[in-house]
Amino acid sequence: MLRTTLGLAALVPAVLVVAACGAASTPAPAATRAPGGSGPDFTVTAKGIAYDGLAIQMEADKGFSIHFRNDDPSTVPHDIDIRDSGDRIIQDKPTIEGGRDVIYDFTGLPAGTYKFECSIHPIPAMTGTLTVK
Nearer to Cu ion (CB atom), residue 59 or residue 101: 101
Which one of the spans 13-21, 30-38, 82-90, 114-122 is the region binding Cu ion (CB under 5 A)?
114-122
Beta bridge partners of residue 69, listed in sequence order: 45, 101
Which one of the spans 1-9, 59-67, 103-111, 125-133 is the region binding Cu ion (CB under 5 A)?
125-133
DSSP per position, 16-66: HHHHHHHHHSPPPPBPEEPPSSSS-SEEEEE-SS-BS--EEEE-TT--EEE
Q: Does 130 bind Cu ion (CB under 5 A)?
A: no
Name the minimum Å distance from CB 43 to Cu ion: 17
Q: Does 67 bind Cu ion (CB under 5 A)?
A: no
Burial of 129 (0-12, 13-18, 19+ CB in 10 A): middle
- Residues lying near Cu ion in the complex (CB under 5 A): 78, 118, 120-121, 126
